[in-house]
Amino acid sequence: MAVSETRMLSKISVNQEEATPKEKEQVMVLGAGRSGIAAARLAVYLGGDVTLKDENIDCLSPLLKEQLSKEGIHLDLGKILKPLDFGTATKVIVSPGLPPEKWSGLAVPEYDSRVIGELEWASALSPFPLLAVGGTNGKSTTSALAAHFLRACGLSVFLGGNFGTPLSEAVLSERKRIAQELSPEYDAGVVEISSFQAETMSPVRSWFDPVVHLFLNITPDHLDRHPSEEAYRRAKWQSFRGISPSHFTVFNGDPESGLYPLRKTPGRPAFFFASRKGASPELPVEEAPVFLLSEDGKTGRVSGFPGQKGETEIWQLDGFSLPGLGNRQNLAASLLGTLIFLNEQRKIGKVRGQDSGDMPFPEKTLLLESLSGFRGLPHRMEVIAEKNGICFINDSKATNVDATLMALKGFSVKSGNKGGDDADARSLILIMGGRDKGASYFPLASPVKDLVRVLIVLGESREVIAKSLSSFCETIPVSSMKMAVDVALSKGREGDTVLLSPGCSSYDMFHGYEERGNAFAMLVREALGVYRGGA
């Protein structure tokens, strides 16, 4: 075994020992949502004396309260949290939904050796290796793609973190199987990581150490939680500061990704790239694994891997059908991350590769065959209906301006449409609006001018958006999603695309982007009299 691999395994052992509560060690879990409950159950299983604390006295059902108490978890509900009031607890596990002001008194928390986020803590205890996905936009689709590709190669994969299932749940399940001498359920884990989960991470502790960590982009978001754009960026970068030098940090090579200038990280760099513009001059592409995607998204160029001997390998990606520049970047990121992860696991005998001779990518055929099997995620550039030559797309997950910008850029590349001042040449009807997040809408000016014939605005932000963009196309304010759909139908003509890509939070009119997207899809299908897939 190589020296770097020995050091890596030693670090895993040390992290697990430090993260494991000693017998009856006082552990406090802050926040009784799904992540907090999962962390409390894992901590008590490992031997801790656990208190689960939440300000909301009604956050748990009576049945769940009874279950948790029977499992040995002390409940402390309904009391206002006081900053740094941890009693005798020596481990304080924080749920990602709990703002740092609540437990630290600061909008940007300072390092406290007692405090650790649920995801970082669970990662130190994980018996299976991790591939992590971070960034502002595209995290969920990229995470799902990476899990899809790893499964296509025969691995059993946990998919969770910010994506849905807390990592603590999977770690608890896996550790119980190990204790019962059962075969492992998972060969690998793919975890999506948000700024809320990253903001408590620290290089002092350096427990969060995935084998591969993808970083897609950074653009202004969650400024209702973070006090400034710089604080948000700092929180995102925190997740990279504990990476081992033998592990990989995979960055978007697009100079417009918001990652540049790159901050120094201890991991080994790799780069993916999918854009109409040239790569950032910072990219050391001759010294690192690289995945370059063609402008049309149909061809990938892979280089920098052991066994390639300096040559570039061409991958034909025709099977991938999801629209948009964002999805092409997600594809490039997930394929590169998957290839690196498989290669690293093969080195230590955790992946049984095919008999490939000198082939650097023994799973290439499996990966390419799996492309057509990935249908995307709901509310992310999801085609919900097509009728009378008009396509309706639900991109309700576009909850910030940059996500909407990526959607529009994808249409520009796909259609070649450059309408400019000629409104008749434009074929996009765009529905935007919701709760404003404080970011400027002016970055949308150029693509709106080039592509959008009608802009429909709704929600709390409709006046702000209209003021920013109405000079570039016909702009119509509405007061409901039904009105938005009705106007779109009245304005639509053969060859048009009606795109819901709000660029805003949904919480002014809905309980989440899912509810907003579902409402849009239902109204469109009812109006057209069609079911999924069109008519």
CB 53 within 8 A of CB 30: yes
Residue 4 marked as a ligand binder: no
Residue 136 marked as a ligand binder: yes
Residue with tokens 């498989």: 342
89 Cβ contact partners less than 8 Å away, ≥ 6 residues apart:
26, 27, 28, 51, 114
CB 256 within 8 A of CB 274: no
Nearest Cα to Cα of residue 511 among 434, 458, 437, 441: 434
End-to-end Cα, the chain, rounded Å: 59
User: Count of alpha carbons within 13 Å of 478, Cβ hemisphere only?
Assistant: 20
CB 233 within 8 A of CB 199: no
Beta strands at 313-316 and 299-303: parallel, antiparallel or unpaired: antiparallel
Backbone angle region of 305, left / alpha / beta, with phi > 0 → left and psi within -120 to 50 → alpha: beta
Residue 138 marked as a ligand binder: yes
Residue 135 marked as a ligand binder: yes
Nearest Cα to Cα of residue 37 among 122, 105, 112: 122
CA 395 to each of CA 8, 140, 270, 376, 399: distance values in angstroms, whole numbers, following the listed order: 40, 13, 29, 11, 9
Please state the φ and ψ torsions of residue 414, each to the nearest 5 degrees: -65, -45
Nearest Cα to Cα of residue 330 among 142, 112, 72, 166: 142
Say how far apart CA 363 and CA 366 lie, in whole Å.
5
Residue 141 marked as a ligand binder: yes
CA gyration radius, the chain: 24
Residue 56 marked as a ligand binder: no
| DSSP-H helix ranges across 54-192 | 62-70, 100-104, 118-125, 139-152, 167-179
| The two structure tokens encoding residue 356 | 């490939």
Residue with tokens 């970055």: 443
Say how far apart CA 347 and CA 350 lie, in whole Å.
8
CA angle 495, 496, 500 (to 5 degrees): 150
Q: Is 358 exposed, middle or buried (0-12, 13-18, 19+ CB in 10 A)?
A: exposed
Helix (H, G, I), strand (E, B) or coil at 20: coil
Residue 137 marked as a ligand binder: yes
- Binding-site residues for ATP: 135-141
Binding-site positions? 135-141
